[in-house]
Structure formats: structure tokens, C-alpha cells
Amino acid sequence: MKSVLIIGLGDFGHHLCKKLVNMNNDVLIVDKREERMEDLADIVSDRIVADCTSVTVLQQLGISDYDICFVCVGSDFKSNLVIVSQLKELGAKYIVTETDDELLEKLLLNNGADETINPNKDSATRLAVRYSSSHIYDYRPLRDGYSIYEISPLNEWVGKSIIDCKIREKYDAYIVAVYEVDGKVDVVPNPHAVIKSDDRLMILASEKTISILLKKLDKQEK
């Protein structure tokens, strides 16, 4: 469980808040408009109506006590930059903010943000990857060129155990979960588990590796 501060309760802030609370984190939400927090009253007891562009307001929140500070003020770049800068000066441990502009992203990172999120860009990227191949059912980008892909199994894997397929040795890839047709999810599957034709595999791989696997999947479909 982490101590989390969320500043700004637009659509992104709302979804983030609900997810963090469901995962048993200790969350404080702050917005200058009370009506934005009304529907969260049943799940979040710590709510403050205030304008966080005021350094006095932020000082009263005890910023250094939070593990993560999320700044979710959307397109209001001036407020975003002011809040991020002040959070950093007040000793915030880790600051995550949202922006849909690459130039503004650089400014935010140079002025205190540890990480930026572009919800629209991230969603577009996931959709583009997902729908670029009939064999990709989902996609989660990671770092350094690696991602987690949900794909169909190769024919050469079907009926064999994960360890016998030698996926790591041949492709430098790792099966991190298996989605079975009945809805069961086997996370970090036993290496002796047998792969079935209707399984969907969550596989950690580089872009180069996934390209090779997709070409093989395309060939076996013909």
C-alpha cells in the first residue's frame, strides 16, 4: 500500500483514483471544484477543496509524506507547470503528471516531473499495435524496447510444455501468463504446463522478437 496524492479530478484523475483505492492505497484527492469529487465520496474520505497552484495550500498537505504525487489538471498547462515545480521544491518523492503535448512534456520533466503520461497517445499506441495484427489481443509497453503482448501460440508450441518449447533460448522471450479458453488465468505458469491451441499467451519480448513471432503466426495461418 502506498500513500498517494491526486491533484485534479478530471476524467483521468477519476479513473486513477478509483483504481488506486481498489488496490488498497491510501489516497488524498484535491480539486478546486467540489462537485468533481462528489461521486468519489463513498470511496475516498480524504478530500480537500483547494487550488493547488497556491504554495500555501501545498505546504499544508505535507507533500514529502506521500510516496507519489499525481498532477491531473489536463490541458491547463500553466497550472500543471506551477504545481509540478512547487511539489518538487516541497520535497515530493515522485511526481507523475499528464500532458498531450511533447514539447510541454519536456518542460514538465525539466521542471520537476519524474514521469509524464499521455493518456490519448498511450491509448492510441496500444490500439495501433493491437489492431495491426490479428494475432495480438492486447499490448502493454514497458521500457528499453520491451513490451508484454497477448498472442496466439505458434503451432510448434502446441501440445508441448513451456520448458520443452525453449522459448527463452530460441527467442529471448518469456511467458508471464496464460489465458485459457474457460477464462482461467495462470500467472507465472509452471514451466511444465502444456500449451493448448486455444490458449492466449502473455509474452514478454522485444519488438524484434515479436516481429519474428508474428511473421511465423501469419505463415502458419496460410
**pLDDT at res. 100:** 79
Indicate the pLDDT class of residue 222, thresholds 50, 70 and 90: low
Predicted TM-score of the model (pTM)? 0.64
Distance (Å, rounded) from C-alpha 83 to C-alpha 78? 9
Distance in angstroms between the alpha carbons of the first and the last residue of the chain: 49
Indicate the pLDDT class of residue 67, thresholds 50, 70 and 90: very high
Check: CB of residue 90 under 8 Å from CB of residue 63: yes
Whether 174 has a pLDDT exceeding 90, the answer reads yes
Percent with pLDDT over 70 in the chain: 95
- What 3-state class would DSSP assign to 95? strand
